[in-house]
Structure 1
Amino acid sequence: MAVQREAWRHRAWEVLGQVSAEAMIGWTRDGRVLVWNDGATRFYGYEAREMIGCDARPLLGIPGHTPWPPADLRGRRALELNRRHKSGTPLAVLAELHPIEDEHGQVIGVAEVGRLAPRTLSMARAQQQAARLHLAAIVESSEDAIVGKSLNGVIQSWNRGAERVFGYRAEEAVGQPVTMLIPPDRCDEEERILAAIRAGERVPPYETIRVRKDGRLIQVSLTISPVYDLLGRVVGASKIARDITAHRAAERALAQAEERLRAVVDAAPVVLFACDAQGQMTLLKGRALESLGFKAEGLIGRPFLGMPGGAAAGFAAQLARALRGERFTAVLGVAGGLVEIRWLPVLGAEGVIAGAGGVAMDITEQRRAQEEALRASKWELFGTLAGGIAHDFNNVLAAIVGNLALARMKLGPVSEAAAFLLESEKAAMRAQGLTRQLLGFAKGERAARGVVDLAALIESTARFALGGSNVRAHVLIARDLWKVRGDEGQLSQVMNNLVINAQQAMPGGGSVEILARNVSLDGHETALPAGDYVRIDCVDRGVGIEEQDVARIFDPFFTTKAQGSGLGLTTSARIVGEHGGRIDVQSRPGEGTRVRFYLPRPSEEAPASQAGGSVRPPKARILFMDDEEPIRKVTQAMLTHLGYEVCVAADGGAALREYRKKRYDIVILDLTVRDGLGGLATLERLRALDPGVVAIVSSGYSSDPVMADHERYGFVAKVPKPYTPETLDAAITPLLGGGGAPHDARRSAAGADQDRDAW
């Protein structure tokens, strides 16, 4: 029965010890702790697991040599004891000591029930008050909202920061539920917070939405902590709220700016990069990476030595300048292109240069465009100069060619001297061809389109170009060869260039094979669209062209011949391209060269212009106007030799005076006159006198728009300088008709004029 009573008392002691708010400690005679309740934990700060079973005297401030419990303890005793909190704070404790005796009445331990002595409470209250005042000063001066609330969620304190953040004055907020600051859709947050606070848990900082007095929603960062009383009990919570609306808006704006910058960098042909002081890449980003041959994943964190195209050495030299503090722009050759880099040093935290970076832009196309613009400017200047020279040169050639032709015609075809004169005449015409070629390339001569009989053009051009040489032409032309639409003079120039090149490639003589046939392309054989074309091949068995030169064969001024101008194939390619065709070259050294070009078949073939016949009205009257006296003389002689009645005039005024005296069947007008009316102005005045006037335009400036499109300006034909009796006769005869009256041609011209006006 005694044992049961003792067990009951021991169990009662444990239960009461755990529920009591006072510090209850069970000691052995040697100072070891057997019982330690929650009240003792709150008093002294130690957990039961730290104290039970150990000598607690040093921890609680009891001198180690002092026996505890007191050896003379008999019966219940009340004492004021000096103890120490775990934090080191001294405590005055009022303790009731109850001796624990064994069955023999010997004291084997003591049960201690303690509470804080009044002086400790006073001191604690004073310290708490001082801390409260200090904290109040901090709280009041804080820019953040600091709010105290009860465990029921009622606001108990409200600082000035809270007034600024939420808009309520303290007298409006204190005593109100904290839920007035919480949007309806977030009220469950408060329930979770209060549950955690009641359990003594610290709520991790988090971001949420709160509502101000004016109804505006704001983003806040919350830090919530439990508030304890003197006995360590949770009595409320302290909440610190920081308005981060502007901060988050700034972050979003920054993120948007970064995204826009990223989009710009990704879209722009630039690369952003940075290197540290050792030259290792720390940043490499931009759409232009691939075009420059970079791969960011292969360079980030590594030295720049892996840059493509042998650019590492140049990059290193530029980096060294930037690391010395220079800001500059430089150009670097990378992977066959050009990169412009704007360098600047990158400063570290202490203002010391920690690296370098910049913006790199691929300027390859820009430089090419600049060079092309410069080249175009040069060509424009060159064209202006060439135009003037060509005009004057052609005027000189006109006199030379005309006189040579006259002398040849007077000698007759059987004269040996006539053959020499013919060669001289052909040489002069080749000089005219070179002038036209140079001028057309520089100025871009406009094509005068008409239906062209390629079969006749090929045969006549080959025969003329190879006349007197040791090279013969072998011409194979399809019987049904389609006609094409184009400028007969320009296409003749192309054939002449190709035949002359073939002849010069065979200095020992040989044969040039010229093939012409109709073909239909499906769009895959060449770069041309699908359709019908005439294909012309010019093949020689000459010296051939080196492989590296074939790719440059159409470049301006490129030539493999000591006496070549480098313009023939360039001009030919331009002319063929402007006619909707394509030209290619195939060649092997020692085997020869094949030049092939295509010309599109017109959708509707118009009949080629036919000469009116060889019969002309006797003594047709021709008025010829030119400001160069040698040209007037030789042309008058050639036309007279052809059987025409000729009158010459030095300028437009003289031509008008002659025309007023009597009408002429045909008027040939020089387009450019230095002092006086030129051909176009003269024609306007002639048409006022005679709407049916038949006029031919003549000029040494073959790329003039009037020469390229003479009908638009009222002329019925053109004859470029220099000319021979044959070219003059070929231009005049169709206008006189096949034995009809010259007036028929004038009526036709008047009808054409009406069409132009309607256009």
Structure 2
Amino acid sequence: MSNGEKLRSSLKAYALGLIAVLAAVFLRRLLDPLLGDSYPLVTLFGAVAAAVWLRGYRLAIPVSLLGYLACHFFFLEPRHHFDLTGTDNIVGLVAYLFTCSLIILFGEAMKTAQTRASQQSEVLRVTLGSIGDAVITTDTEGRITYMNRVAESLTGWSFREAHNQPLQAVFQIVNESTRLQVENPAKRALQDGIVVGLANHTVLIKKDGNECPIDDSAAPIRDEEGRVTGCVLIFRDVSSQRALERDKAQQLLTARLLASIVESSNDAIIGKTLDGVIQSWNAAAEQLFGFTTEQAVGQHISFIIPDERIDEETHIISSLKAGKRVEHFETERVRSDGKRVSVSLTVSPIKDDTGSVVGASKIVRDFTKQRAVEERERELLAQAAEANAKFQAFFEQGALFAGIADVSGTVVAANRQSCFHGKAAGSQRSKLLENHFGNAPGGHLLRTWWIRSKRLPTKRRLAHRFVRRCPTSSVMAANVLPTS
């Protein structure tokens, strides 16, 4: 109950108390012609009792005092005056307060007893309503005397149908695997007077023929003298538990399969917590790092990480906590002999049933040989680039003409000394490039050699020396060398 509701309830109770006082005074006023000066406070006791019932002594006390003041003013001599000096008035006040105290005390006792009984009744109601197990009771002959709603639901029998029926007719149980009938535990509980439980994998056959796996126990009911007067059978539906057991068995089988896959993998696979503590270490990890499973499990993952790369682990853990994978992270790790090995890491978060990240699975692949090959390729490329740069410098800055043509005879490169262009030829280099070299002055000699050379195998093609005159009337000599 909220504070506002409590305040409204209190105001309502006090308002009813005031109404009770006014009603008592009004009733006494109506009786005044008959009673006169006798019993001036007689109608107040009912108002006090009503106040105790409404709000207890907290309301009864003010009602008693307010009622006395009203009746004293209207019905005690001298009327319409307050006079507490007279002996009769003092004695009457004491008697009134004593009587009101008794009413309040008895009222509080009754109210407390009523509240306690109400609470006990509520506890019993809630308890019976919250029981999730089915309950069936029988007499000494095994006939059903009671069954709750859960029992009705599980057996398919209503209590009206099952009442006085033999327990075996309503509670039929068989073994889940063998399909043989199972001895009813209630029968043994009645015969031996002991608590009896069901064997595992027992199913209950319902009235409609459907089956339900159950777990139950039976116990004798004894009277005050210890004699067996009946039996109580308590059972519950364990379908979800059986399904959970099957799921766990399947999960265990899957876990074993995954474990065998991990163990036989050629890649090192390491399982660890978010704190970095190693939990699993397969055979490939032993081979890669040189540490056995016994040496690695329980250690912090940092024992294979170089000191200058320890910050990488912090970055990896941060990514995992965010639910992200770390793929193909190239780094170095340390073997048991102190040697470093180049590895590629793929780290995935491990999540529990709720989706929370609880650990990490790390696949470590050795690519030391691959890195060596890549470094060799880079060295060769650098050497080739250096050689090409030297050739280009020689080609361009040479004192003699040099040119390059493709297999069709099209000029693809020519240096600045070419007699076909530049100052020697009086034309620009762009006019020569991408044209057949035979189109240049004196080029018919080169074209003839080119045609003859193409007819011969590459290895038999010979160098030719041509001398021709350029447009500037100067004589130029040219060496033509075929290349493959």
TM-score (norm 1): 0.30
Task: Choose between structure 1 and 2: higher helix proportion.
Answer: 2
TM-score (norm 2): 0.44
Task: Choose between structure 1 and 2: higher strand proportion.
Answer: 1
